[in-house]
């Protein structure tokens, strides 16, 4: 009983403090600052920045408590969905906040008192509101690239020094100081396999309007050795993008040959069939298009005055120009599905090997393109096949009853937290029980543009 009363008192105190901040924001918004002078404006800017940092520190405290509640047994997966829906943060940002909060919060131990945070000085500065988001990133990055051969005391010294400077200087300086500290503590550049494994990574950026994607990252020495060997095979004159007879003069730049080496490696790996299975069919490129677009591509190939057809879609949700698709399909190693424009039923399924479930998945690629849950952006490659009505309630596995759902959404539907039903247009509608079922327009931009996101409650008769 006593803890219940004090919990209620704590909730009231916190809510009252937030109400007071909201009320103060109203005053700030409504008060003109036209005649206060620039010296005063700079004072205000400094205080606003400090308040934003303080706010950030409190935000990390609550993310840390949400992830590891001191008064509950643990976080349930639905909490992430609630944060996503109410704060409108990307799932990546939610994960980032949880991870950072875990590093700057005291750690609970099963026996004995709590263990201090992994980064105690940064934790204190975040809580005090003396460092901003960019400082936090700079300090974490600098600490994370220190080699694992350093002693815990050296790492703690580095963290303390970086945080001290972060409270007085901008984050760019902190980053540079971090590099100098790393060089000083590790003058011989000693890095072991653990360091390299930690730092390896490749980041494939979003596809640009021209169809190109940015790639950046760090390769470990073994990957580099493979890469060099393949790059050597793509020496001048060899493995040109459009093999012709006689071979065309090779005027590729070194960077372009490097790109073609990566393409050759990936194409060879896919064609080898040794990459194993992915959700029941061989790991391969899945491409869907419609008969009208394919016909248009054939006409455009013969007559350059005709418009270029719309690109095909890959199972990863990217756009593939028709010309590339036709060239890839000629090598006959990919799953190509051609759909009737009206019924969205497959007219042609090109495949190297017949796999029973693949035809059903291809229909999902054409109709759903990705997860069918409203506003979910997960592409088809990341989706499971959801049965509607669900297996448990007697669902049958025929193609009209199979729909794409990403892992989390499929899981929540299977547990009965979300309900699905097939709509009149053949698509899958989802509901959490609080409103009518809705379909996902996120993979169908043509619908996004022509759908009223907030229809009136009483549509005119």
**Could you say whether residue 428 binds Zn ion (CB under 5 A)?**
no
CB count within 10 Å of CB 152 equals 7
By 3-state DSSP, what share of the chain in percent is helix, strand and coil, each rounded to 5? 50, 15, 40
Determine contact, residues 286/278, Cβ cutoff 8 Å: no
**Could you say whether residue 376 binds Zn ion (CB under 5 A)?**
yes
- Least separation, in Å, of the C-beta of 442 and Zn ion? 9
Size of the site for Zn ion (CB under 5 A): 6
- Least separation, in Å, of the C-beta of 240 and Zn ion? 41
Token pair, residue 252, equals 């590729």
Rounded Cα distance between 51 and 66, Å, is 22
- Least separation, in Å, of the C-beta of 410 and Zn ion? 8
List, in order, residues 6 or more apart from 31 with CB less than 8 Å away: none
Cα distances (angstroms) measured from residue 266 to each of 258, 259, 275, 432: 13, 11, 11, 41
Token pair, residue 216, equals 């950046």
H or E stretch at 287 = strand 286-290
For the segment 432-451, give every residue that binds Zn ion (CB under 5 A). none
| Residues 169-188, mask of contacts with Zn ion (x by CB under 5 A) | --------------------
Token pair, residue 114, equals 């709590």
Peptide bond into 284 cis (omega under 30): no
Q: Applying CB under 5 A, which of residues 143, 162, 371, 385 lies at the interface with Zn ion?
A: 371
- Least separation, in Å, of the C-beta of 384 and Zn ion? 10
Span interacting with Zn ion, options 70-78, 143-151, 342-350, 376-384, rule CB under 5 A: 376-384
Q: Using alpha carbons only, what angle is made at residue 160 by residues 159 and 163, rounded to the nearest 5 degrees?
A: 80
Rounded Cα distance between 232 and 228, Å, is 6
**Could you say whether residue 334 binds Zn ion (CB under 5 A)?**
no
Helix axes of 133-144 and 152-166: crossing angle, nearest 10 degrees: 160
For the segment 381-410, give every residue that binds Zn ion (CB under 5 A). 406, 409
Span interacting with Zn ion, options 39-47, 352-360, 364-372, 442-450, rule CB under 5 A: 364-372
Span interacting with Zn ion, options 124-132, 154-162, 287-295, 378-386, rule CB under 5 A: 378-386
Of 293 and 378, CB closest to Zn ion? 378
Span interacting with Zn ion, options 56-64, 101-109, 292-300, 372-380, rule CB under 5 A: 372-380
Q: Applying CB under 5 A, which of residues 373, 387, 412, 443 lies at the interface with Zn ion?
A: 373
Of 103 and 373, CB closest to Zn ion? 373
- Residues engaged in binding Zn ion (CB under 5 A): 371, 373, 376, 378, 406, 409
């Amino acid at each position: 009983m006593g803890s219940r009363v004090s919990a209620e008192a704590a909730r009231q105190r916190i809510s009252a403090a937030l109400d007071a901040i909201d009320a103060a924001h109203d005053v700030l918004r409504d008060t003109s600052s036209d005649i206060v002078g620039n010296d005063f404006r700079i004072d205000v800017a400094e205080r606003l920045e400090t308040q934003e940092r303080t706010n950030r520190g409190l935000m990390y405290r609550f993310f840390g408590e949400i992830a590891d509640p001191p008064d509950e047994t643990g976080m349930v997966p639905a909490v992430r969905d609630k944060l996503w829906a109410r704060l409108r943060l990307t799932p990546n940002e939610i994960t980032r906040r949880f991870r950072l909060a875990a590093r700057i919060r005291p750690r609970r131990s099963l026996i004995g008192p709590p263990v201090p945070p992994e980064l105690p000085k940064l934790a204190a500065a975040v809580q005090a509101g003396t460092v901003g988001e960019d400082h936090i990133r700079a300090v974490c990055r600098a600490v994370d690239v220190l080699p694992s051969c350093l002693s815990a005391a050296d790492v703690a010294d580095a963290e303390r020094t970086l945080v001290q400077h972060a409270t007085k200087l901008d984050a760019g300086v902190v980053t540079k100081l971090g590099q100098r500290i790393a060089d000083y503590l590790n003058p011989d550049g000693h890095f072991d396999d653990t360091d390299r494994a930690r730092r390896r990574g490749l980041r494939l950026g979003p596809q640009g309007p021209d169809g190109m994607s940015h790639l950046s990252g760090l390769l470990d020495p073994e990957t580099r050795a493979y890469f060099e060997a393949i790059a050597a095979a793509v020496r001048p004159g060899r493995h040109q993008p459009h093999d012709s007879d006689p071979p065309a003069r090779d005027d590729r730049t070194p960077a372009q040959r490097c790109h073609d080496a990566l393409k050759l490696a990936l194409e060879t790996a896919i064609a080898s069939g040794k990459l194993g299975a992915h959700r029941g069919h061989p790991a391969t490129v899945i491409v869907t298009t419609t008969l009208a677009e394919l016909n248009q591509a054939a006409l455009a190939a013969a007559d350059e005055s005709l418009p270029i057809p719309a690109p095909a879609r890959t199972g990863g949700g990217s756009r593939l120009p028709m010309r590339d698709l036709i060239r890839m399909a000629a090598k006959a190693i990919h799953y190509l599905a051609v759909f009737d424009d009206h019924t969205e039923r497959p007219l042609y399924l090109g495949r190297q090997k017949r796999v029973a479930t693949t035809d059903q998945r291809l229909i999902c690629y054409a109709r759903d393109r990705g997860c069918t849950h409203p506003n979910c952006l997960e592409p088809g490659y990341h989706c499971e096949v959801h049965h509607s009505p669900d297996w448990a309630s007697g669902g049958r596995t025929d193609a009209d009853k199979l729909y794409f759902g990403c892992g989390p959404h499929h899981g929540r539907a299977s547990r009965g937290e979300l309900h699905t039903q097939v709509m009149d247009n053949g698509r899958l509608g989802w509901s959490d029980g609080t409103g009518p079922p809705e379909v996902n327009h996120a993979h169908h931009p043509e619908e996004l543009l022509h759908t009223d996101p907030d229809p009136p409650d009483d549509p005119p008769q």
